[in-house]
């Protein structure tokens, strides 16, 4: 995958590494990028970037997995 990372401030003002990459449209849930670093698997949040915007950071080739969490919770409807 060709993606970039940048450091963004989280909800509690902590700095967290964030992956900048497109995510599949029309699928609701929490997307994360999982990659192996030094023998351990690390999950990074994803910020979906508009394809027409200039990149916020220099893209680099990465190997890992695009993961979708909470998809079932977003697809439930109360009837």
- The DSSP line for 1-41 is -EEEEEEEE-TTS-EEEEEE----TT--SEEEEEEEETTEE
What φ, ψ does residue 73 adopt, rounded to 5°?
Answer: -65, -35
What φ, ψ does residue 58 adopt, rounded to 5°?
Answer: -70, 120
What average pLDDT score do residues 7-18 get?
A: 74
- Band (pLDDT 50/70/90 cuts) for residue 41 is very high
Q: What pLDDT score was predicted for residue 40?
A: 94
């Amino acid at each position: 995958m060709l993606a970039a990372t940048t450091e963004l401030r989280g909800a509690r003002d902590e700095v967290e590494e964030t992956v900048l990459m497109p995510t599949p449209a029309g699928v609701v849930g929490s997307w994360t990028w999982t990659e192996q670093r030094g023998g351990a698997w690390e999950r990074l949040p994803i910020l979906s970037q508009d394809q027409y915007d200039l990149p916020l950071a220099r893209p680099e080739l990465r190997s890992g997995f695009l993961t979708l969490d909470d998809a079932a919770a977003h697809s439930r409807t109360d009837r």
